[in-house]
Amino acid sequence: MLSWCLLLAAVPSLPTGVFSSRDPELVANGAGVRRTLTLEQGRFVLESAVGTADLSTIWVEARLEGTITATSDSRAVPGAKEVTLRFNKKTIRRRTADFGVIQRLDLSRCGLEVDRWVDITHLGCSWIFPVEAHAQDYDLLALEGELLRLGARPPDGMLETPARRPKVLGPPLVRVKKKP
């Protein structure tokens, strides 16, 4: 029994709550994104709204859901934990009818209608790969007061192997709501 308790004590715990981008984060092609991450009892929901740089117009929203586990403290980033996010469900919603934006974001092949959520878990769409091709991310997570930071994503956005786990933290997400 003592060895089981020691093993549980060695696994880092994860924060709970809802965390969101304070300001739009600039991504490829000058687009802006606002991320909202909900963490609760080993599960996560990551919602992203993508649009103009200032997010005055939202073009598309994506929601990735699954489980999150902390595997160890990071050796590369003091105070951060190494985490694995396993995707169970991926959905997307197109918010624009602008053909130029649809083409630029490679949304035309996805068969999306405006303002309708579509499950793309097994098909993928645009920058979101199907779970069969991208089932998990190996990431970092650090809680600094009310700020939560994941690892900085590489230019291709892929964190699909432990070797691709970030070595630095990305932009902060601010706690907007606590979960019990």
| 72/122 Cα distance (integer angstroms) | 30
Counting DSSP H helices and E strands in the chain, the numbers are 2, 10
Kindly tell me if the per-residue pLDDT of 2 is higher than 70: no
pLDDT (0 to 100) of residue 179: 52
Give the pTM. 0.87
When pLDDT is averaged across residues 117-135 and rounded to a whole number, the result is 91
pLDDT (0 to 100) of residue 121: 95
| 52 CB neighbour count, 10 Å cutoff | 14
For residue 56, what are its two tokens? 């005055």
Kindly tell me if the per-residue pLDDT of 113 is higher than 50: yes
Q: Which residues of 56-73 are buried (b: 16+ CB within 10 A; e: fewer)?
A: eebbbbbbbbbebebeee
pLDDT-wise least confident of 132-141, 151-160, 165-174: 151-160
pLDDT (0 to 100) of residue 61: 97
| 128/62 Cα distance (integer angstroms) | 9
Domain boundaries, the chain: 16-171
Mean pLDDT over each residue of the chain, to the nearest integer: 89
For residue 19, what are its two tokens? 């965390």
Find the angle CA(135)-CA(16)-CA(129) to the nearest 5 degrees: 20
pLDDT in tens, 10-57: 446 899 999 999 999 988 778 999 999 999 999 999 999 999 999 999
Give one DSSP letter per residue of 134-176, joined into a string: --EEEEEEEEETTEEEEEPPPTT----SGGG--SSEEEEEEEE
pLDDT-wise least confident of 10-24, 95-109, 143-157: 10-24
- Percent residues over pLDDT 70 in the chain: 92
| 132/83 Cα distance (integer angstroms) | 20
When pLDDT is averaged across residues 101-128 and rounded to a whole number, the result is 90
